[in-house]
Amino acid sequence: MLPEESTPTTVDQVQNLILESADFEDFLNELARFSAHQMAGDGDDALCGITLLRERKAVTIGWSSDVAREVDEIQYSLAQGPCLTAAKEEREVLVPDLLEENRWGPDYASAVASYGLRSVLSLPFNLEGEAKAALNLYSEAPYKFNERATDRARGYTREVSQALRLAVRFAVHKDSANNLRAAMESRTIIDIAVGVVMAQSRCSQEDAVRILTEASSNRNIKLRDIAKSLVDSVGGAGTLTHFQEPVYRQDQSQAG
């Protein structure tokens, strides 16, 4: 009689992600997708981003989808929000319904809700001094993260904290975190747009953020898309993302 195969634990599955991933960035994105799948439940999906705080800078180092990364970046532009609170203060932060949320002012809630999202749960990872990080879960359903879901997420973050801590330590101390450091040093498209508005309107950063979020809400367009449109209109040829290489074109006056 053949022995029954044991079901792999969460730790086993995360360790497999480390072994199968091509590099540090690939592992973090796979971890975010795995986390979203683990936390979804009830047959639907959730979005997940992983925020890292290091040297007073915040960056999303892993994301399950572009939307997860973009809504994380909204908080960095505002310098406040549930994932930043969770990481900085190392405590859980629950947003049952964004339409009823005002802890971080109306700009944050309205900007994230414009993506069709309604509830948020952010939980800190225990990185033991290496840095601070948080797992950010988003759902289109209000009150998605009930007590049972929160307990599951709490246990999950405890299980994967060691793997994330080892990955961050390896990347930093072995100088294989070039992509991570570049991302932390780069300004997001939203940050650039805020600077453009400040320059054009001669207003404060807070007023510039409000102008952009109001434009996003009034036009029913994602904040990142509004920001990109503004920056493109100023730069003419678009803006490079974190990992794009510039393309140099021959001057037309020299062509032919």
| Span 151-185, pLDDT tens digits | 989 988 888 887 777 777 665 555 444 555 555 55
Measured distance CA(197)–CA(216) in Å, rounded: 14
Q: Is the pLDDT higher at 217 or at 235? A: 217
- Identity of residue 245: E
pLDDT recorded at residue 7: 60
% of the chain beyond a pLDDT of 70: 72
pLDDT recorded at residue 235: 67
Is 83 within 8 Å of 122 (Cβ atoms)?
yes
- Whether the per-residue pLDDT at 97 is higher than 90: the answer is yes
| Span 103-135, pLDDT tens digits | 998 899 999 999 999 999 999 988 876 678 899
Work out the average pLDDT over 64-79.
Answer: 92
Q: Is the pLDDT higher at 224 or at 100? A: 100
pLDDT recorded at residue 27: 76
Quickly state the pLDDT bin for 236 (edges 50, 70, 90).
very low
Q: Which of 223, 156, 186, 226 is nearest to 57 (CA)?
A: 186
| Span 1-55, pLDDT tens digits | 444 445 667 666 766 766 666 666 777 778 888 888 877 765 566 899 989 887 7
Q: What is the mean pLDDT of the chain?
A: 79
Q: Concatenated DSSP letters for the chain?
A: -PPPPPPPPHHHHHHHHHHH-SSHHHHHHHHHHHHHHHHH-TTS--EEEEEEEETTEEEEEEESSHHHHHHHHHHHHHT-SHHHHHHHHTS-EEES-GGG--TTHHHHHHHHHTTT--EEEEEEE--TTS-EEEEEEEESSTT-S-HHHHHHHHHHHHHHHHHHHHHHHHHHHTT--HHHHHHHHSPPHHHHHHHHHHHHHT--HHHHHHHHHHHHHHHT--HHHHHHHHHHHHHSS----TTPPP-----GGG--
Q: Is the pLDDT higher at 240 or at 7? A: 7
Please tell me the number of Cα atoms within 13 Å of 69 on its side-chain side.
19
Could you tell me the pTM of the whole model? 0.65
Q: Which of 196, 180, 152 is nearest to 35 (CA)?
A: 152
User: Among 1-5, 56-60, 234-238, where is mean pLDDT lowest?
Assistant: 1-5
